[in-house]
Amino acid sequence: MKILLLICGFISLGLAILGIFLPVLPTTPLLLLAAYLFSKSSQKQYDWLLQHPRFGPYIIQFREQKIIPRHIKLISMLMLWATILLSIYLLRGNLPIQALLLIIAIGVSWHILSYRSK
């Protein structure tokens, strides 16, 4: 089971890194998932992730204080809405899917904004 969790942790970390460059992938939740999976499978990988100069501070700050930095919130919201609005535009004529995308965007926005900022 630990090997499966470790593999899933690396997949989540890889997707988080891709999320830095691709607006569709949410970086922070995938980093948090990778940290959780590593904590259950490999103390070495978990420690490495927490000590990483780029990723560690976000994970530690969220884990300890439930805070999302203001600039991360801003980037997340801009990328989320840009992607959703582009998708809605490209799917014009498909009202149920457009409505679903809008509901998802509102829900994700509500969730992101529910966390304190620093």
**Residue 30 neighbours by CB distance under 10 Å:** 19
Triad 33, 38, 42: Cα angle to 5°: 175
User: 69 near 58, Cβ under 8 Å?
Assistant: yes
**Do 74 and 60 share a structural domain?**
no
Q: In terms of residue numbers, what domain contains 109?
A: 70-117
> What are the 10-residue block averages of pLDDT along the chain, 118 residues in total?
94 90 76 92 95 88 83 84 92 93 90 85
Q: How much is the pTM?
A: 0.65
**Residue 5 neighbours by CB distance under 10 Å:** 16
**Do 58 and 7 share a structural domain?**
yes
**Do 75 and 48 share a structural domain?**
no
**Do 90 and 43 share a structural domain?**
no
Sign of CA dihedral 88, 91, 95, 100: negative
**Do 42 and 13 share a structural domain?**
yes
**Do 90 and 47 share a structural domain?**
no
Question: Which structure tokens are listed for 66?
Answer: 């439930």
For residue 36, the model assigns a pLDDT of: 92
